[in-house]
Amino acid sequence: MKYTVAIFLLPLIGFCQIESRLLDYMDRQSAINGFSGSVLVMKKDNVLLEKAFGHANQEWNVANTPDTKFVLASITKYFTAIAIMKLVEQGKLSVEDKLERFFPGYPKSDKVNIHMMLTHTAGLPLDFDELYVNSGGVSGDSALSAMMRKPYLFEPGSSRAYSNIGYYLLGQIIEKASGTTYAAFLKRTVFDPAGMTDSGVCNNDSIVNRKAEIYYKENGIYLKNPFIDWNLNVGHDGAYATARDLYRLDRALYGEAVLTKSSKKLMETAYTKKLPDGGFFDTYGYGIFVDPYYNHGHSLRTHSGGFIGVMTTFDRYPDDDVFVAVLSNNGSESHIVGYALSAIVFGLPVDLPYVHLAASEQPTKLERFAGEYGSVKIVLENGKLYLGETKAELVAESPTLFFRKDNPDRTFEFVSDKRGKTVAVLVGKGGVKEKKTKNKRVKRP
């Protein structure tokens, strides 16, 4: 009997240890890195962590709570893709339908189809934010005319490039095909079936209870989010939800309350694998990333969002029945936080956040650290190390450990062999370390 009790308690002990690590990690993210937002970590209907940090309203010192609603930014694209698939199920459109069916005057509309817009392979430009940020009164027709004047980035279907314009057009297609507003169609076909009672679509007029204000940092000072015309910032952005509501959608997607199995299979096909570039965008389906490289070796469905103070992410690990949502209203790096929280759940080593301080004596012979480590390039200029892609300065914390001056949560620990030759670097992201082996120099003839 004692053995039976001991075996029964083992999973409980494991859960308690994970819960403690998750809470400790987030408490430090809040205290050290200023995280503001809401976090939810679930495993098989067990709450591992559900907690909010920071302020929903800094002016009135109103704290965020687990019931706070957050603007989701590009997570909205996931809702848009689900809504498109609902219309496909209803027989009101096909992913092969051309853009010209809905916008006959749009350039190359006879070559662009819904599938391309869903997968960001249409060649449409990134954004039209000059029309909906710090401006108002721009009509939908005027916005459409402005988009039509923007040149394509490439021939439709020949490459891929992330496009808010494509998803804005998908939002308009949803309205045309359904005969109702984007917000109403999402409520009827996504939010209500999933039980998402605290979700909706932003507009310029409605008062939404418990919705967080948005803040962004500039020169070390938090500022309020600029005016956004939510009439135009829709389809690619504009939805809001609680972390718990995103989990309700996760639960619904294990069944068929929202989508059929065949529709989910179409959504969760990594179409962009046919057009790889070695980056994070190699595994995009319909409004969702499918098993991207940052999956800790587990099957992952994920999407993040980021826009002027809004940073959000959700991670679904369907084979493990693990779900992580991190929603921030002050620009905290939710995708990195979610990455670390998932690592903790899977029992991987994760360093807790701490205050990074420059070493009193900076190391010499920095040239031994310069070079390419996979896709990471470290350069030496004027006696200082920089991250090549961003030109961010690296500050020494110890003889071999450096951190980014502009983002101390990113660390670079150089590894040497027995002869003292630098052979690799451990790149830390939110405390999760990835080993990058130094590329061998190719001898020129």
Mean pLDDT value of segment 96-106: 98
Q: What is the full DSSP assignment across 380-412?
A: EETTEEEETTTTEEEEESSSSEEEESS-TTEEE
Mean pLDDT value of segment 85-113: 98
> In 3-state terms, what secondary structure has residue 10?
helix
pLDDT value of position 159: 94
pLDDT value of position 211: 98
Number of neighbouring beta carbons within 10 Å of residue 215: 23
Q: Where does the pLDDT of residue 349 fall: very low under 50, low under 70, confident under 90, or very high at 90 and above?
A: very high
Q: Where does the pLDDT of residue 440 fall: very low under 50, low under 70, confident under 90, or very high at 90 and above?
A: confident
Give me the percent of the chain exceeding a pLDDT of 70: 95
pLDDT value of position 304: 98
Mean pLDDT value of segment 363-380: 95
What is the average pLDDT score of the chain? 94
pLDDT value of position 27: 98
Q: What is the full DSSP assignment across 258-272?
A: SS-HHHHHHHTS-GG
> In 3-state terms, what secondary structure has residue 172?
helix
Q: Where does the pLDDT of residue 1 fall: very low under 50, low under 70, confident under 90, or very high at 90 and above?
A: very low
Residue 10: pLDDT over 50? no
Q: Cα separations (Å) of 235 from 85, 153, 311, 351?
A: 14, 21, 17, 37
DSSP state, 299? Answer: -
Residue pLDDT, tens place only, 280-303? 688 999 999 999 999 999 999 999
Q: List the single range of 9-23, 212-226, 263-277, 336-350 with lowest mean pLDDT.
A: 9-23
Helix axes 76-89, 164-178, angle to 10 degrees: 40
Residue 434: pLDDT over 80? yes
pLDDT value of position 281: 80
Report the b/e string of 227-260 with b at 16+ CB within 10 A: ebbbbbbbbbbbbbbbbbbbbbbbbbbeeeebbe
What are the extents of the domains in the chain? 70-345, 366-437
Mean pLDDT value of segment 233-237: 97
Q: Where does the pLDDT of residue 86 fall: very low under 50, low under 70, confident under 90, or very high at 90 and above?
A: very high
Number of neighbouring beta carbons within 10 Å of residue 45: 9
Q: Where does the pLDDT of residue 12 fall: very low under 50, low under 70, confident under 90, or very high at 90 and above?
A: low
SS3 content of the chain, % helix, strand, coil (to 5): 30, 25, 45
Give me the percent of the chain exceeding a pLDDT of 90: 90
Encoded tokens for 128:
């039209």
Q: Where does the pLDDT of residue 2 fall: very low under 50, low under 70, confident under 90, or very high at 90 and above?
A: very low
Residue pLDDT, tens place only, 250-276? 999 999 999 999 999 999 999 998 887
- Residue 211 CB partners (closer than 8 Å, separation 6+): 56, 68, 69, 70, 71, 240
CA 27 – CA 245 distance, rounded (Å): 23
Residue pLDDT, tens place only, 377-418? 999 999 999 999 789 999 999 999 999 999 999 999 999 999
Contact 249, 243 (CB under 8 A): no
pLDDT value of position 390: 84
Residue 443: pLDDT over 70? no
Encoded tokens for 22:
């998750």
Mean pLDDT value of segment 202-216: 97
Residue 229: pLDDT over 70? yes
Q: Where does the pLDDT of residue 14 fall: very low under 50, low under 70, confident under 90, or very high at 90 and above?
A: low
Class of domain 70-345: alpha beta
pLDDT value of position 278: 64
